[in-house]
C-alpha cells in the first residue's frame, strides 16, 4: 500500500520539465510517445541533441524496429529498447531490446537499471513485422 509518506518521497524524486534543455544532466531518457516511427525518430533526435554523451537513450516501443530508430542517431551504441509491459506498476517484466549497434556497456547498464527498479529484465532482439 502506498502511504502518504512514500508518495511524498517518490514525488520528491520527480522533476517536471517544459524544455528539452532541462534534460542536460540525465543519465537515462526513455521515449514513450505514440507508436509512430516518424514521431519517435523526431523525439529521439531532439533528446540526443541535449543529453550528455554518457546518457542512455531508450525507446518504450512495443513493436517498432529499434534498428530503424537508431539510424541517424549520433551515438547509436547508447540506444536500446526498454519496453515496460502494461500496467507498468504491476507487471514485473521489462523487455530489453538490443539494437544492432547497442554497446555492451549500454546493455549492462539497462539490466542494472531494471534490477534497481525491481523489474525482471528479459533480453530480446529486434523483431520486425512482415509487410
Catalytic annotation, residues: 83
3-state secondary structure of 29: strand
Pair 67, 100: CB distance under 8 Å: yes
Torsion of CA 92, 59, 61, 83, to 10 degrees: -10
Distance CA 116, CA 93 (A): 13
HSE-up (13 A, CA, CB side) for residue 114: 24
Amino acid at each position: 500500500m502506498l502511504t502518504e509518506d512514500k508518495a511524498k518521497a517518490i514525488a520528491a524524486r520527480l522533476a517536471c520539465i517544459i524544455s528539452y534543455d532541462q534534460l542536460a544532466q540525465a543519465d537515462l531518457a526513455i521515449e514513450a510517445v505514440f507508436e509512430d516511427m516518424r514521431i519517435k525518430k523526431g523525439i529521439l533526435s531532439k533528446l540526443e541533441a541535449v543529453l550528455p554523451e554518457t546518457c542512455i537513450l531508450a525507446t518504450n516501443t512495443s513493436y517498432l524496429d529499434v534498428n530503424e530508430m537508431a539510424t541517424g542517431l549520433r551515438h547509436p551504441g547508447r540506444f536500446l529498447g526498454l519496453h515496460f509491459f502494461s500496467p507498468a506498476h504491476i507487471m514485473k517484466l521489462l523487455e530489453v531490446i538490443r539494437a544492432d549497434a547497442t554497446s555492451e556497456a549500454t546493455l549492462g547498464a539497462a539490466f542494472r537499471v531494471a534490477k534497481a527498479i525491481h523489474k525482471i529484465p528479459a533480453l530480446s532482439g529486434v523483431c520486425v513485422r512482415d509487410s
